[in-house]
A and B are shown apart, each in its own frame.
Chain A
């Protein structure tokens, strides 16, 4: 049975914790807004890019001269898995869901006899995957120092991936990230970027191409990869803040419940102590 003083200290501790989680929730809410704005601002570019590349891919894609980025290099032996997670924890199941999906895919690929390579973006994913799949790691991209995700970061990652592909170090590249749906729901997603997959676009207006279609496609595909990485990073950023916000909301609420329970306990034991003292006095008086 904890003493009254213990209980009082405990309540004070939980109150402090609640203050911190509350503050973190507020910060996450503000950051979420910014992340969502960034995602919305990036949408026109990504959409247009996808539309144009899909249109081009539909017309060029089937021919023999199709770029390797689109048609693949005829092999799917070496699979590069890019796991994008957050740099910080305390965001609920955000990182675990991505890692779980990636892990399932890795197991599947290994069982199918493929060679797996893992590139991690974000510290948390690396930490979680290191123990089981450390031998597959080929690199890690650290974004700890990055305050705001910019296109530059995405381009650097894309360049890294493209260079590996170019050097024949991998045949298929898949991104793993969380797609933002709402504050309480983020969907872990696997997106194959190389060879590129596009839904067949509806035939748009007939364009002239300058230079020819093949050259434009060859120019645009690396950019399209960078754009996809950028979109994934932004979605991930928004998801992370959303997940953190709801996790911290829960924590705040739990702390509140705990304080209530502890306060009741505190009051009860205080009353019990008083009653006990009274009984002692009365029985002492009666004994005389």
Chain B
């Protein structure tokens, strides 16, 4: 049995999850990454996507709209601008996220990354079959 690491998922409004996880899969800006105990310390930004944490009670999934993750050997904290448990995700919420990202892309000086975020969200929506 592999060791566990402390997984925290916080949004600006509240703490969504805080549990001991054996593995956390995050949608990093430069590709998905799995984080287990003893991972090298990393700070990475996130792209919109699905985050999965494997804990004692099985796998918990969350949809995140971006943010960043701070990884140390013993803990991972994900700061997501918006995070929703996968089971609570609705098409309407998804649409709102897309609309919001599109709006943000319009004013963001970093056009590329903003457009990429929108594209990621659209891909996610397509994958969910809405």
- CB within 8 Å of B: which residues of A? 38, 41-42, 44-46, 48-49, 52, 56, 150-151, 154-155, 159, 162-163, 166, 205-211, 215-216, 218-220, 222-223, 226-227, 230
Contact A230 B12 (CB under 8 A): yes
Known: A155-B81, A211-B30. 14 other contacts (CB 8 A): A38-B13, A41-B13, A44-B10, A45-B10, A45-B79, A48-B70, A150-B13, A162-B107, A166-B107, A205-B41, A207-B41, A207-B43, A209-B44, A227-B12
Question: Taking the complex as formed, is B49 at the interface, i.e. its CB lies under 8 A from any CB of chain A?
Answer: no
Roughly how many angstroms separate A211 CA and B116 CA in the complex, as a whole number? 15
Contact A208 B40 (CB under 8 A): yes
Contact B12 A210 (CB under 8 A): no
Roughly how many angstroms separate A210 CA and B45 CA in the complex, as a whole number? 7
Contact A216 B45 (CB under 8 A): yes
Interface centre among B77, B107, B110, B113, by most chain A C-beta atoms within 10 angstroms, is B107
Choose from A45, A150, A155, A210 the contact partner of B43 (Cβ within 8 Å).
A210
Contact B104 A159 (CB under 8 A): yes
Question: Taking the complex as formed, is B109 at the interface, i.e. its CB lies under 8 A from any CB of chain A?
Answer: yes
Roughly how many angstroms separate A87 CA and B107 CA in the complex, as a whole number? 28
A-B pairs under 8 A by CB, number: 83
Contact B68 A52 (CB under 8 A): yes
* A209: nearest chain-B partner, CB-CB: B43
Question: Taking the complex as formed, is B67 at the interface, i.e. its CB lies under 8 A from any CB of chain A?
Answer: yes
Interface centre among A44, A150, A166, A210, by most chain B C-beta atoms within 10 angstroms, is A210
Interface size on B, residues (CB 8 A): 30
Also in contact, A46 and B43, with CB within 8 A (given A211-B29, A218-B110): no
Interface of A is mostly: helix
Contact A219 B113 (CB under 8 A): yes
**How near does chain A come to B4, taking the closest CB pair, in angstroms?**
19
Choose from A49, A206, A222 the contact partner of B79 (Cβ within 8 Å).
A49
**How near does chain A come to B108, taking the closest CB pair, in angstroms?**
8
Contact A45 B12 (CB under 8 A): yes
Residues 86-130 of B, flagged 1 when their CB comes within 8 A of A and 0 if not, give 000000000000000000100111100100000000000000000
Roughly how many angstroms separate A163 CA and B43 CA in the complex, as a whole number? 27
Question: Taking the complex as formed, is B28 at the interface, i.e. its CB lies under 8 A from any CB of chain A?
Answer: yes
Contact B43 A223 (CB under 8 A): no
Q: Which residues of B contact A222 (CB under 8 A)?
A: 108
Smallest CB-CB A-B distances: 4 pairs: A151-B12, A210-B44, A41-B14, A208-B42
**How near does chain B come to A43, taking the closest CB pair, in angstroms?**
10
**How near does chain A come to B65, taking the closest CB pair, in angstroms?**
11
**How near does chain A come to B113, taking the closest CB pair, in angstroms?**
7
**How near does chain B come to A97, taking the closest CB pair, in angstroms?**
26
Q: Which residues of A contact B72 (CB under 8 A)?
A: 205
Roughly how many angstroms separate A163 CA and B109 CA in the complex, as a whole number? 9
Question: Taking the complex as formed, is B61 at the interface, i.e. its CB lies under 8 A from any CB of chain A?
Answer: no
A-B contact pairs, 19 of them (CB 8 A): A41-B14, A41-B15, A44-B10, A44-B15, A45-B12, A46-B12, A52-B43, A151-B11, A207-B41, A207-B43, A209-B44, A210-B30, A210-B43, A210-B44, A211-B29, A216-B68, A219-B110, A220-B68, A227-B12
Q: Which residues of B contact A166 (CB under 8 A)?
A: 107, 109
Choose from A42, A155, A218, A223 the contact partner of B67 (Cβ within 8 Å).
A223
Q: Which residues of B contact A44 (CB under 8 A)?
A: 8, 10, 15
Roughly how many angstroms separate A137 CA and B127 CA in the complex, as a whole number? 47
Q: Which residues of B contact A52 (CB under 8 A)?
A: 43, 68, 70, 79
Roughly how many angstroms separate A150 CA and B29 CA in the complex, as a whole number? 26
Roughly how many angstroms separate A208 CA and B35 CA in the complex, as a whole number? 14
Q: Which residues of A contact B104 (CB under 8 A)?
A: 159
Roughly how many angstroms separate A208 CA and B41 CA in the complex, as a whole number? 6
